[in-house]
């Protein structure tokens, strides 16, 4: 059977950068599914994705379906003919449905009996007739939360469609999708090469776009950007802060990446570096640079989507844009410096943690008391844990955290140092939130361990106590994460603590109407089910875990 490479490209307005890889992967998966369901054999499918296009190449796609032979089963023999041997109405109807006569019907014998049957030979359809429907179905199935219309057309997609390149071998797959007529042309970079590019066959696609200043393959473009950023950092004797999410987003924003090194005034380095890094990454999509000691430099790398004859203009523009954001961060930091953490304690009384569980002040007071109890048993400082618990949420009241929510805990650490608090307490302000996610680092100081455990246990018994335990995928208070975090701290630090005793102590502090007799058992069972998952992932047999878990033990 003849095979040809299949090329599909949909050109659009700029696609949402955070959704680009998801859309690209889904298009390839749905196209592959459609080809399989249509019985069109094919080889590997390669995806392409840029801000202005979703594309794929299916290698060795069959140019027509294989002929198919199917066997249809009709009436049972005892019901197929009457006493005179004449075919019954059911038999005649079955023959008509097979577009044949009764005398052409065969017989199908099985262990359960014998039936009339017929072999149908279905000729395969040309791929060109099937591909438009496959493509349309694939586009309709893409995970797009909200589709839009444009112009006077009824077509709907995540962004307006402008062109459609659809080839099987060297032949156009004749169709119209999302208001775009299939052809053999694509378009290059919006500024460097806006004119049409004729694509003769799939093997020409990536090279011709490269010549038109478009790196069509997402992974190739991603690797190029990563290399460019690292080389730029090396040229300054620094190291780039490259995280995967930012790299993916920047890759989804450009078709022809060009690195530009820029900077900002050194005075802004007086602001906690985490705030500067956050605004550079989150708001501006810049790659911050670190010196050999791991300290933030007043330089960064941005990726332009154009090869400018005057890159200084791009550099100056980016520096001008980031300056107000850094100035805001400095202003908030300076404003917060006029008060100490403890000055915010009174203000927490006016902020509700949860309607039935009181204010942030009430929550902090419970955490402080429980943390002091825990500190006694883990060779910590009881008084320090008590104070740390009361200060643990004070940074939520600062202007810096109000502007940069991700700074909670981090701001507490910086502010505590500025207040002259003990270093262990300052570290505990950040460790209070650890672990923030699966695989994250754990608190290391005794004080940090105490307040982190106390907060998570108070949240667990409190939310369970008011009847808001997780159900299905709903877990608004992140109780599963709190349980896993607690278990990791207890397990990995090998702490001499009894979980059931801790739960009862946490419940004693709750000033709510709950069935305290069953609350500790419910929370313990919930946490044990999480622990079971932890040990299962580590290769421990379920039967072994359940045997050990028959009675409460120290973890």
Each residue's pLDDT, cut to its tens digit, for the chain (555 residues) gives 699 999 999 999 999 999 999 999 999 999 999 999 999 999 999 999 999 999 999 999 999 988 777 778 888 888 888 877 888 888 888 888 888 888 888 888 888 888 888 887 777 889 999 999 999 999 999 999 999 999 888 899 999 999 999 999 999 999 999 999 999 999 999 999 999 999 999 999 999 999 999 999 999 999 999 999 999 999 999 999 999 999 999 999 999 999 999 999 999 999 999 999 999 999 999 999 999 999 999 999 999 999 999 999 999 999 999 999 999 999 999 999 999 999 999 999 999 999 889 999 999 999 999 999 999 999 999 999 999 999 999 999 999 999 999 999 999 999 999 999 999 999 999 999 999 998 899 999 999 999 999 999 999 999 999 888 888 888 889 999 999 999 999 999 999 999 999 999 999 988 766 566 689 999 999 999 998 888 888 888 888 888 777 755 444
Check residue 516 and give its pLDDT: 66
Cβ atoms of residues 173 and 132 within 8 Å: yes
Distances (CA, A) of 350 to 328, 339, 525, 526: 26, 18, 34, 32
Q: Residue 145 is encoded by which pair of tokens?
A: 């939360």
CA–CA separation, 266 and 446 (whole Å): 36
- pTM recorded for the entire structure: 0.84
Cα Rg, the chain, nearest whole Å: 33
CA–CA separation, 149 and 182 (whole Å): 19
Quickly tell me which residue has 């053999």 as its tokens.
184
Closest by Cα among 186, 252, 246 to 221: 252
- DSSP readout, 20-63? HHHHHHHHHHHHHHHHHHTT-----EEEEEETTEEEEEEEEEES
Cβ atoms of residues 405 and 398 within 8 Å: no
* SS3 at position 367: helix
- What 8-state DSSP symbol labels residue 393? T
CA–CA separation, 549 and 287 (whole Å): 48
CA–CA separation, 273 and 283 (whole Å): 15
Check residue 221 and give its pLDDT: 98
Check residue 555 and give its pLDDT: 41
Check residue 73 and give its pLDDT: 83
Q: Residue 278 is encoded by which pair of tokens?
A: 């956050």
Domain ranges of the chain: 3-65+126-211, 68-122, 218-336, 342-548
Asked if omega into 332 is within 30° of 0 (cis), the reply is: no
CATH topology of domain 3-65+126-211: Alpha-Beta Plaits (3.30.70)
Q: What is the dihedral of CA 458, 464, 466, 470, to 10 degrees?
A: 120
The CB density around residue 426, as the number of other CB atoms within 10 Å, is 25
Long-range CB contacts for residues 296-300, cutoff 8 Å, separation at least 24: 296/269, 297/236, 297/238, 298/263, 298/264, 298/265, 298/266, 298/268, 298/269, 299/236, 299/238, 299/261, 299/262, 299/263, 300/261, 300/262, 300/263, 300/264
Strand ranges for 111-195 from DSSP E: 113-122, 161-168, 171-172, 176-177, 180-183, 185-187
CATH ID of 342-548, from 1.20.58, 1.10.3210, 2.30.30, 3.40.50: 1.10.3210
């Amino acid at each position: 059977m003849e095979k040809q490479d299949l090329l599909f490209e949909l050109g659009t307005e700029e696609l949402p950068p955070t959704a680009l890889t998801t859309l690209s992967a889904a298009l390839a998966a749905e196209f592959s599914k459609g080809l399989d369901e249509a019985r069109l054999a094919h080889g590997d499918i390669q995806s392409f994705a840029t801000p202005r296009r979703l594309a794929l190449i299916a290698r060795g796609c069959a140019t027509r379906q294989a002929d198919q032979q199917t066997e249809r089963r009709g009436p049972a023999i005892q019901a197929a003919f009457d006493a005179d041997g004449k075919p019954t109405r059911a038999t005649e109807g079955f023959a008509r449905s097979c577009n044949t006569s009764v005398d052409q019907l065969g017989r199908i014998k099985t262990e359960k009996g014998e039936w009339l049957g017929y072999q149908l030979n279905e000729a395969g359809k040309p791929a060109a007739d099937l591909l438009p429907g496959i493509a349309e179905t694939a586009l309709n199935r893409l995970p797009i939360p909200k589709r839009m219309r444009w112009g006077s057309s009824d077509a709907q997609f995540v962004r307006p469609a402008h062109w459609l390149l659809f080839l099987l071998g060297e032949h156009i797959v004749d169709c119209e999708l999302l208001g775009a007529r299939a052809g053999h042309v694509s378009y290059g970079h919006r500024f460097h090469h806006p004119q049409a590019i004729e694509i003769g066959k799939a093997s020409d696609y990536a090279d011709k776009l490269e010549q038109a200043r478009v790196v069509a393959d997402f992974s190739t473009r991603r690797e190029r950007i990563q290399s460019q950023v690292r080389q730029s950092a090396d040229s300054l004797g620094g190291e780039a802060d490259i995280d995967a999410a930012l790299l993916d987003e920047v890759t989804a924003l450009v078709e022809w990446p060009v690195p530009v090194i820029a900077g900002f005034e050194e005075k802004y380095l007086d602001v906690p570096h985490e705030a500067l890094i956050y605004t550079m990454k989150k708001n501006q999509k810049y790659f911050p640079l670190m010196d050999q000691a791991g300290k933030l430099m007043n330089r960064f790398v941005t990726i332009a989507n154009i090869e400018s004859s005057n890159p200084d203009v791009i550099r100056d523009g980016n520096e001008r844009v980031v300056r107000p954001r850094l100035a805001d961060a400095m202003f908030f930091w300076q404003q917060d410096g006029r008060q100490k953490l403890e000055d915010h304690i009174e203000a927490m009384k006016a902020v509700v943690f949860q309607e039935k569980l009181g204010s942030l002040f009430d929550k902090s007071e419970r955490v402080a008391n429980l943390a002091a109890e825990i500190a006694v048993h883990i060779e910590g400082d009881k008084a320090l844990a008590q104070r740390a618990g009361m200060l643990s949420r004070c940074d939520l009241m600062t202007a810096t955290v109000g502007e940069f929510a991700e700074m909670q805990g981090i701001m507490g650490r910086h502010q505590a140092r500025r207040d002259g608090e003990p270093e262990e307490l300052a570290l505990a302000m950040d460790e209070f939130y650890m672990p923030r996610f699966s695989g994250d680092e754990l608190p290391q100081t005794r004080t940090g361990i105490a307040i982190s455990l106390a907060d998570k246990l108070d949240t667990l018994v409190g939310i369970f106590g008011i009847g808001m335990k997780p159900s299905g995928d709903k877990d608004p208070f992140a109780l599963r994460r709190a349980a896993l975090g607690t278990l990791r701290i207890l397990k990995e630090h090998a702490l001499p603590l009894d979980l059931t005793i801790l739960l009862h102590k946490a419940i004693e502090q709750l000033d709510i109407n709950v069935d305290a007799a069953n609350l500790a058992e419910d929370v313990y069972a919930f946490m044990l089910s999480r622990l079971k998952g932890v040990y299962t992932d580590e290769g421990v047999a379920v039967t072994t875990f359940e045997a050990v878990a028959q009675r409460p033990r120290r973890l």
